[in-house]
Structure 1
């Protein structure tokens, strides 16, 4: 019963999250980002202002689809506790593979189709304020991931190995995501296909640097 209630709450949360994002993007497309208020967005979506801020920190985040709570704790924990066979002063032998699995798991939580991605990119291109915000959010996410690597590997803050890993795999992730969305149209995201593409790129990097 408890698990069923939890699943129901999560479905409702996802439905509200999706509705707020859809309305925010529609209003931005129709009126421009400054052409509507949070109150008007809430009225269109049928939620209270308080509910809105339980889901998003700002109007920009609703348009971009970056909620306050991302529910990535399990993914983060699996990565942090996965380190093994770490030589003194070195890093885990599975670190790269586990970092790839981390990004793949994050992708698996998305449901973005190519048409939705194009719509968001078009809005960002028209609204410099959104471009600035997404860069900020991406930098924050990058720093959070670097901190996870440092924590997992017992590295000192600022150890260049952690940032290098995140920058390299993060760049591969972005390239594969763009390629994937360009070739899949409106088909539902395929986690296996995305994972194969990302691991293929990583294998090339391994061979080049071997």
Structure 2
């Protein structure tokens, strides 16, 4: 296992244990020190990856995708010939590869939200911050730097809607991960369906 893979695995352990502790004891029922002891890391290591206990519970990792966003803004990270919407979808897939995607994690998050409803607002606020970062990266990548130019926000919000619809399908309890498509494939197919609907109002096979 590479150093990067080990680091990712460590972050995932901290996130999962923080969520389990929240479900069992509530957000204020355990300390960062107790979490670190469970995982087997120091406070310093914890704060190298997360700004707070709340962030660990929500899986908001410090600078986890910053490098990818910088590369994307400079014209890299995804194929250069993609149009803006396709580029953002490809970026979303790349970011998910960086942070990891696990259906079991999503079920645990739902239990966290049931135990601590206040975390829902915190999560939505974090998503807004992330969308703003992506929008800025899109502006730089495609040269849409005029403050009155709304194209970057429009395509970013559209891509976010595609991700949301895809996640609703993928994380549904009825979804069979063994026979269903991978998240990447499902998201890509939803992009294809959206393009077909916008172009002619018909399905891609009609």
C-alpha RMSD of the superposition: 2.8
**CA–CA separation in structure 2 for the residues paired with 1:53 and 1:187:** 39
**Which deviates the most, 197-206 or 59-68?**
197-206
User: What are the within-5 Å matches in structure 2 for residues 80-159 of structure 1?
Assistant: 80-81=74-75, 94-155=83-144, 156-157=146-147, 159=149
**CA–CA separation in structure 2 for the residues paired with 1:105 and 1:127:** 30
Structure 1 residue 197, shift from structure 2 partner = 2.7
**Residue in 1 that maps onto 2:49:** 55
> What are structure 2's unaligned runs of at least 5 residues?
none
**Residue in 2 that maps onto 1:169:** 159
> CA contact under 8 A between 2:89 and 2:188: conserved in structure 1?
no
| TM-score normalised to structure 1 length | 0.80
> CA contact under 8 A between 2:69 and 2:134: conserved in structure 1?
no
User: Which has a greater percent of helix?
Assistant: 1
Structure 1 residue 93, shift from structure 2 partner = 8.0
**CA–CA separation in structure 2 for the residues paired with 1:126 and 1:21:** 16
C-alpha change, 1:145 and 1:75, in structure 2 (3 Å) is closer
> What are structure 1's unaligned runs of at least 5 residues?
1-6, 83-91
| TM-score normalised to structure 2 length | 0.81
C-alpha change, 1:81 and 1:209, in structure 2 (3 Å) is farther
Aligned residues: 195
String of CA shifts for 1:148-173, please: whole Å, max 9, x gaps: 11112222235211111111111111
| Counterpart check, 1:202 vs 2:191 | no
Runs of 4+ in 1 over 6 A off after TM superposition: 186-189
**CA–CA separation in structure 1 for the residues paired with 2:182 and 2:52:** 30
Structure 1 residue 8, shift from structure 2 partner = 2.7
**Which deviates the most, 119-128 or 53-62?**
119-128
| Counterpart check, 1:10 vs 2:4 | yes
> CA contact under 8 A between 1:33 and 1:127: conserved in structure 2?
yes
> CA contact under 8 A between 1:56 and 1:66: conserved in structure 2?
yes
Structure 1 residue 139, shift from structure 2 partner = 0.4
**Residue in 1 that maps onto 2:28:** 34
